[in-house]
Amino acid sequence: MAGDPVEEVRAAYEILRSLGLRFRGLDLHVCPTCGRTGIDLAAIAGEVRDALADMAEPIKVALMGCVVNGLGEVKEAEVGLVGGKGQGSIYVSGKLVGAAVPEDRLAEETVRAVREVVRRKRPAEEA
């Protein structure tokens, strides 16, 4: 039985991206989570992915559940989230831009940061 065609297209893009053949839109890196994760990272990742589904510009975003591996991962991303207990921190280009953001605002603030980074990367006439 075939799946939802939208999910099939997403999977195809991810395969092409992993092979280095396609660079378009959101390059989302999410940790697998463990006992250290103090936020609902799966829900936040889903909200971020859905809110940025319209992105055409390539941008790497890392969503990490804790600081153990999170700080290293967000240094490699243009926008990153590191979770804590019921809150998190937002990073842009490895620099802290939002600390102690409540969990219920993490997806929204991450999306806002991504859109701002993309807006700044565009030439002035397109922004």
pLDDT digits (tens, 9 = 90+) for 34-54: 888 999 999 999 999 999 989
User: Does residue 30 lie in a domain region?
Assistant: yes
Q: How far is C-alpha 100 from the chain's CA centre?
A: 18
Whether residue 110 is contained in a domain is answered as yes
Q: Three-state SS for 82?
A: strand
Residue 3 lies in a domain: no
> Does 1 score more than 60 pLDDT?
no
CATH code, domain with 63: 3.30.413.10
Give the range of the structural domain holding residue 40, as residue numbers without chain letter: 26-121
The pTM of the full predicted model, rounded to 2 decimals, is 0.84
Structural domain total, the chain:
1
Q: Is residue 111 part of a domain?
A: yes
